[in-house]
Structure 1
Amino acid sequence: MDKNLISIDNHVFIKPEYLNHQYVSGNKLRKLKYNLLEAKKGNKKTLLTFGGAYSNHISAIAYAGQENGFKTIGVIRGEELNDFNALNATLSFSKSCGMEFKFVSREQYRNKSTPDFIKKLEKEFGDFFLIPEGGTNEFAVRGCEEILDDVNETFDYICCPVGTGGTISGLINSSSDDQKIIGFPALKGDFLSKEITKFVTKTNWELNTDYHFGGYAKINEDLIQFINTFKETYNVPLDPIYTGKMMYGIYDLMSKGYFDKNSKILAIHTGGLQGIEGMNVKLQQQNKPLIV
């Protein structure tokens, strides 16, 4: 058994990717590895990407860019944020790393991948290396293929949260044919399956869409209690957007007898912990319990 794994019980283990870097942790470090190498190979000086105001991806790009000598630009969803005198913790950190922001309306943001929108950005900012929202592209998938190693072949099930599909695509590609890969989407809808099939050929995977708690960044007090109890019991912090929902789903499926008896489950902790602070701001405004 990998000594770096966290044992929850005899059947469930966690691969703590959130410990692999202080600021670019979890799947972000994996996704950026080959993107940064490709940007350097192309002699690019600037990284441009997209995200929301509390995005782990935005803060990771900002720090990784600074660390690797790139200028960084973040196209942020929500033009109303441009009026704020005080940025939230995520954007403040990103700004301290030198990131320049462009705030756009939610309507504009929906067109972020269109050629016309990209051309306008090129006209405004010049030449740049574009990294998609969430970081998912062929280079990100290649990096995420390195999450699993030979030791992890002993597991029957590999579970991970799903945002844009890059991480689970890498896991699928590097998994053994007799392993089952289960993704727990943080968003509502079935569009992610189509995105994942762009990068994989194997069929040993599925998405369980029962644990998004209403959609992206939506949570309730049951999930908050689960996250807090889990940390108190196992000393493993979970974020409310991704890993908290995944672990909640794993335990619920176990209680329903979904997993084969005596099977071994590996849960990939993809990081995202910096988002807890932003979520707690919202919870405090709603007079709801906080994530500890």
Structure 2
Amino acid sequence: MSPHERSAGLRLQLPSPLVELDDDRAAARGVRLLLKRDDLINPEVPGNKWRKLRLNLDAAQKQGHDTLLTFGGAYSNHIRAIAAAGRHYGLATIGVIRGEEHTPLNPSLAYAADRGMRLAYMDRTTYRVKHEPEVTNRLREEFGDFYLVPEGGSNALAVRGCMEIPAEIAEPFDVICCAVGTGGTLAGIAAGLPEGARAIGFSALKGGSFLTEDVRGLQATAGTPTGNWRIETGFHFGGFAKRRPELDEFIADFGQRHGITLEWVYVAKMLAGVFALIEQGTFPEGTTVIAVITG
């Protein structure tokens, strides 16, 4: 695969770079830490967004759809990615946003609208059952036919797309880590691991223990069940899209050490968790850990 693959006008850096991190905290514990820089795949559809969307976009076109519909919150990166990908693929896009409309649009929704996405709004009660047939049928009556991409993009095709992440890694490794929001990325990574390797997901949600069943369900749907993964739920720093001073301190320190500004909703929490496990001695000396920077 070319390092700069082109797809529907998107310039993609694939395989994404693998960079070894020179960090005294890991070195002191005898742990080798590498970053899988999926955030550099494409600025508009970065990281796990591209991994999860690629096969869905192909399926939408093969099935003759000209419109994508998906769901998300008012600050959803998934909404932004669908809008950008739809524009590049020549597909109309509809974003069903949780809650009431607020104007002017925030930067995320303004970005999506600028790329041609039609925005609709759904009350929070209905949103909780958004994938029920009664709701999706009503949406089809309103908007016509569409290809449905679930919230966060996680479905069987997304799992298969994320299986490509370990396949790109030529370096031998023991553990691979990623953030978890809806579970699709972890489900795919775990399904694509070489024998003997294991995966750890770090929940960005408070009370994220339910994600274990979600990941199992996604793997079952994709026909790829594995037992080589687990989820850490203690590194949410207050809950989804919430932050605490210690997370900001970690981000600032990491930027000074390595010149990388971490996305804070998912990635910084995951990496803070990785370093905490290193400090706790969770990884034996000689372990090679890869952290996926999903963007």
Task: Please indicate, yes or no, whether the TM-score normalized by the shorter chain is above 0.5.
Answer: yes
Matches within 5 A, 1:139-154: 139-149=157-167, 151-152=169-170, 154=172
* 1:197 pairs with 2:210: no
> Structure 1 counterpart of 2:270, which letter?
M
**What do you get for the CA RMSD once the two structures are aligned?**
1.4
| Identity within the alignment, % | 43
- Would you say the 8 A contact 1:160–1:269 is kept in 2? yes
- 1:25 maps to what in 2? 46
- Would you say the 8 A contact 1:49–1:131 is kept in 2? yes
- Would you say the 8 A contact 1:153–1:176 is kept in 2? no
> Structure 1 counterpart of 2:178, which letter?
C
- Any gaps of 5 or more consecutive residues in structure 1? 272-292
- Any gaps of 5 or more consecutive residues in structure 2? 1-14
- 1:289 maps to what in 2? none
- Say if 1:34 and 1:24 are closer, same or farther in 2 by CA, change over 3 A: same
3-state DSSP of counterpart to 1:130: strand
Number of equivalenced pairs? 267
- 1:57 maps to what in 2? 78
Question: 1:195 and 1:49 mapped to 2: Cα distance?
Answer: 19
> Structure 2 counterpart of 1:147, which letter?
I
When the two structures are superposed, what TM-score results if normalisation uses the length of structure 1?
0.88
> Structure 2 counterpart of 1:99, which letter?
M
Matches within 5 A, 1:232-251: 232-251=256-275
- Say if 1:27 and 1:111 are closer, same or farther in 2 by CA, change over 3 A: same
- 2:21 maps to what in 1? 8
- Would you say the 8 A contact 1:142–1:170 is kept in 2? yes
Shift of 1:62: 0.1
Identify the match of residue 237 of structure 2 among 196, 205, 213: 213
- 2:250 maps to what in 1? 226
- Say if 1:76 and 1:150 are closer, same or farther in 2 by CA, change over 3 A: closer
Shift of 1:98: 0.3
- Would you say the 8 A contact 1:17–1:25 is kept in 2? yes
Question: 2:61 and 2:77 mapped to 1: Cα distance?
Answer: 23
> Structure 2 counterpart of 1:178, which letter?
G
Question: 1:128 and 1:62 mapped to 2: Cα distance?
Answer: 14
Identify the match of residue 110 of structure 1 among 121, 125, 128: 128
Deviations along 1:85-110, one digit per CA (max 9) or x if unpaired, are x1111111100000001111222211
> Structure 2 counterpart of 1:22, which letter?
P
